[in-house]
Amino acid sequence: MEALSLPAALELVAGAGAGLSPERRAALGTSLPLLQRDYRFERVWFWGCIQGVRGAYYIAEGLGPDRAAPRSRLYSLNCVDWSLLTPATKEMLALAEQVKGRFQGDPSFEYSLAEINAEAAASLIQSGKEPVMKEEARLIATIEQIDRDVGIVPRGAFLKTPLGSVHENRHFEGLSLVEAKKLSSYFHFTHPVNLKNKTLLEKADLDPSTDFLDSLEHDIPRGSWSIQLEKGGTVVVLRSLLWLGLTFYHVPMTKQFGYVYFGTGEKNLDLPFML
C-alpha cells in the first residue's frame, strides 16, 4: 500500500485484526519518505510484515517509472533501519518452497539443506558451496512468491503503453460498487500466465491497454479469495485464503486501493481440502 496514505489504509484493513502499533506507524511515517529520497524511488509501498519466532520483518518496496518492472525490496527489523534485498533467483524460489515452519526473525539464521533436500545439498557441495540456506534468502523468495500469487490491483488502475511499459492510469476513478464485488474486476500485478492461453475469440473483447494481466476469476483452487463489504458497505475487502494474512482493500468510486500482508510467511497448503 502507498506509504503516504499508510495510516488511513491500515484503518481500512484493520478488520482482519492485524496492524501496527502507534510506535511502528510513527517510525514508518518518518523512515519511508527518507527511504524514497535516499534510493531515489518514484514511489514507496509498505508491503507488510512477516512475523518470526524471535522477531518480525517489516517490508517496503520501491518502484520506478515502469510499475511492472522488478521492484526493489527492503526489510527492517525496527521500521527505522532498512537493508536492501537482492532479487530472487529460481534456485532461491525452489529451495524456499521446501522449507517448512516459522521464520526465526534472524536474517543470518541458516537452514540445513541436508535435512530439507538431500539432492540440492549434494549439488551445492559439488559446486563448492555450503549446503545451507540463510533466512534472508528465504525471506526474499517468500516475498516474491506472495507478490506473484496474490499481489493484486483493480482493473483499469494501470495502463500498458504500446512500448510495453506500465504506468498508473490518471483517469482511473475507482470501480463501481457492483464491479468491485466481482473477482473479474481484479488482476494479478505480475507477468500474465493465463492470458497467453486465451483464444483470439476470447481476446477480441479485451482492451490491450487495461486487460494485459491475469484475472482473479480463474485462480486455482476456486474459492481461494474471500470478498467482503466493510465500513458500512463503503469498502470492498479481499482476503487471500492461500496466503493467510494478505488483505486487499478498495474504496469504490475513488482511487484508494492497496494490499498489505501480515502473517507468518507460510503458504496454506491445506486449502484444497478446506474448500
| Partners of residue 58 on adjacent β-strands | 49, 76
Query: Does residue 140 sit in the same domain as residue 196?
Result: no
Neighbours of 196 (CB within 10 A): 8
Query: Does residue 102 sit in the same domain as residue 161?
Result: no
Is residue 21, in this structure, part of any structural domain at all? no
pLDDT for residue 63? 92
Query: Does residue 156 sit in the same domain as residue 123?
Result: no
pLDDT for residue 106? 92
Is residue 40, in this structure, part of any structural domain at all? no
Query: Does residue 105 sit in the same domain as residue 124?
Result: yes
pLDDT for residue 97? 86
Which residues of the chain fall short of a pLDDT of 70? 15-17, 115-129, 194-205, 207-208, 275
pLDDT for residue 274? 79
| Partners of residue 2 on adjacent β-strands | 45
Q: Are 74 and 60 in contact (CB under 8 A)?
A: yes
Query: Does residue 184 sit in the same domain as residue 257?
Result: yes
pTM over 0.85, yes/no: yes
Q: Which of these three, 116, 150, 184, is where a domain ends?
A: 150
pLDDT for residue 210? 79
Q: Which of these three, 101, 121, 150, is where a domain ends?
A: 150
pLDDT for residue 127? 67
Is residue 225, in this structure, part of any structural domain at all? yes
Could you tell me the residue range of the domain that residue 195 belongs to?
152-264
Domain count, the chain: 2
| Partners of residue 14 on adjacent β-strands | none
Query: Does residue 109 sit in the same domain as residue 95?
Result: yes
pLDDT for residue 94? 84
pLDDT for residue 67? 86
pLDDT for residue 239? 93
pLDDT for residue 14? 79
pLDDT for residue 223? 86
Query: Does residue 174 sit in the same domain as residue 92?
Result: no
Distance spanning both ends of the chain, measured CA to CA? 29
